[in-house]
Amino acid sequence: MRGVVLHGPGDVRVEQRDDPEIAAPTDVVIRLAATCVCGSDLWPYRGIEPVRRPSPMGHEYAGIVEEAGSEVRSVKPGDFVIGSFMASDGTCEICQAGYQSRCAHVEPVGANGAQAEYLRVPLADGTLVATHGQPDPALIPSLLAASDVLGTGWFGAVAADVRPGKTVAVVGDGAVGLLAVLAARELGAERIIAMSRHEPRQKLALEFGATDIVTERGDDGVARIKEMTGGYGAHSVIEAVGTQESMMQAIRSTRPGGHVGYVGVAHDVQLPGDELFFAEVHLLGGPAPVRRFLPDLISRIEDRSIGPGKVFDLTLPLDQAADGYRAMDERRAIKTLLRP
C-alpha cells in the first residue's frame, strides 16, 4: 500500500509500505475513506520534535473495516468506523472512568501511520465506533474530524466545565481551537470569545458559534478578556496551542474558581508554582479521551446538527501529502484532508 513517511524535517514522502495485517485477535484492519494532517504532525515536520528514523505519519482516520481479528465483537467487515488516536481496551478502571486516552493498555494508533491506504487498529472493541449504516459521503470529513480535532476540542470544553450561561475563552485558532468553539456552543455557553488574529479563522470561529473575537495575545489578550468580563476573567478557558505563552494566557484569563481545559500538546511548558497557587483555578487536560465522546459526536454529525468537517479547507490526494503539510506549515491551510 501507499503511505506517508516523514524522513526528516520538511521531508514528507509517499512511498510503498507493507500492507498491515491482523497481529492480535483484538485488531482490525481498515481501508481508509479519508485521513488528514494534524497540527501536531507539524512539530516533527518543523524539526521541533526530533525525527530519529523514517516514521509513518498520521493518527486520524475513518474508513471501512476490511478484516477483523477473531476476538473482535463490536464491529465487523464492511462497517464504517471512526476511532481515537489512542487505542484503548475499554475495560480497565481508567477507561471505565472515561479517560480512555490513558488506558492501562493504551497503544498510540499513530505508530501505525494512518496517512495511508490501510491501517491496523489495535483493541478494536474499546477503540472504534461504527456509524449507523454507510454514511453519506458528504459527511465523511466531519466524521474524520471526530477522530481527533473535534473530540479534542470537545474534551477541552468539557475539561473547562463549559455549561449554559458561562463565558468561555478559547486560546488558539487551529482546528482544535475552532472546534472547541463549536463544542462550547453545543454545550450551551452564553458567550464564546475566540482569540485569533487570522481573518479566515475568525470567520470560521464566528460560524461555529463565537460571539466575540479578540486579536490580542499574551498579556494584552489577558487584559482584553478581563475587560470584557467585568475584571473577573472567563469562567472557562480552553487552551489549544501547547506553548508556555498560550498556557499562561489561558491560566491568567480564567477567573478564580474557573476552569482551564488544556488540550494543546505541551512543548516545554513550565508552570510557576506561586502563580498557580494564587490563580486558584481548576486545571484539567491531556490527550483527549476521544472515545468517550465518539458515539455522541457521530450522532450529532449524522443528524447534521454539527458540521465540523468545515475545518478542512484543503483536500488533496494522498500522493500530494507533502503539499498538504507545506500548506499547513505556511498557514495557508487550517487543515488538510487526504484522500487515499
Task: Tell me which residues in 297-326 interact with Zn ion (CB under 5 A).
Answer: none
Alpha-carbon span 224 to 243, nearest angstrom: 20
Q: Which is nearer to Zn ion, 67 or 107 (CB)?
A: 107
Number of residues that bind Zn ion (CB under 5 A): 5
Residue placing its CB nearer to Zn ion in the complex, 135 or 289: 289
C-beta separation of 319 from 3 below 8 A: no
Whichever of 6 and 103 has its CB closer to Zn ion, that residue is 103
Specify the stretch interacting with Zn ion by CB under 5 A; choose among 40-48, 95-103, 171-179, 271-279.
95-103
Beta bridge partners of 82: 62, 129
For Zn ion, the closer CB: 97 or 271:
97
User: Nearest-CA neighbor of 30 among 83, 67, 84, 74?
Assistant: 67
Number of Cβ within a 10 Å radius of residue 239: 33
Member of 1, 92, 206, 213 binding Zn ion (CB under 5 A): 92
Q: Give the residue among 11, 10, 17 at the shortest CA–CA distance from 340.
A: 17
Residue with smaller CB distance to Zn ion, 103 or 316: 103
Given a contact cutoff of 8 angstroms between Cβ atoms, the answer to whether 174 and 199 are in contact is: no
**Least Å from the CB of residue 68 to Zn ion:** 20
Among the listed ranges 90-98, 293-301, 303-311, 332-340, the one in contact with Zn ion (CB under 5 A) is 90-98
Interface positions, 11-30, toward Zn ion (CB under 5 A):
none
Sole binder of Zn ion in the list 89, 148, 173, 239 (CB under 5 A): 89
Q: How many C-beta neighbours within 10 Å does residue 76 have?
A: 12
d(CA 317, CA 324): 9
The nearer residue to Zn ion, 80 or 155, going by C-beta atoms, is 155
- Cα–Cα distances in angstroms (integers) from residue 270 to residues 245, 276, 286, in the given order: 10, 11, 15
Quick check: 107 and 85 in contact, CB under 8 A? Answer: no
Rounded least distance, CB 164 to Zn ion, Å: 32
Contact pick of 14, 30, 95, 250 for Zn ion (by CB under 5 A): 95
Residue 88 or residue 112: which is nearer to Zn ion going by CB? Answer: 88
Q: Is 223 in the site for Zn ion (CB under 5 A)?
A: no
| Contact characters 57-86, Zn ion, x per CB under 5 A | ------------------------------
The distance of closest approach from Cβ of residue 24 to Zn ion in the complex, given in angstroms and rounded to an integer, is 15
Q: Which is nearer to Zn ion, 36 or 123 (CB)?
A: 123
Identify which of residues 61 and 99 has a Cβ nearer to Zn ion in the complex.
99
Closest distance to Zn ion from the beta carbon of 150 (Å): 22
Q: Which residues pair with 62 in a beta bridge?
A: 34, 82
Q: How far is the CB of 77 from Zn ion (least distance, A)?
A: 25
φ and ψ of 140, to 5 deg = -60, -40
- Give the binding range for Zn ion (CB under 5 A) out of 49-57, 92-100, 170-178, 273-281: 92-100
**Environment class of residue 230 by beta-carbon count within 10 Å: exposed (0-12), middle (13-18) or buried (19+)?**
exposed
Span 96-125, contacts to Zn ion by CB under 5 A = 103
| Displacement of CA 6 from its chain's centroid (Å) | 20
Give one word for 65, left, alpha or beta, with left for phi > 0 and alpha for psi -120 to 50: beta
CB of 251 to Zn ion, least distance (A): 30
Q: Least distance (Å) from Zn ion to the CB of residue 85?
A: 15
Minimum CB separation of residue 106 from Zn ion in Å reads: 7
Report whether 291 contacts 99 (CB < 8 A).
Answer: no
Q: How far is the CB of 89 from Zn ion (least distance, A)?
A: 4
Residues forming the site for Zn ion (CB under 5 A): 88-89, 92, 95, 103
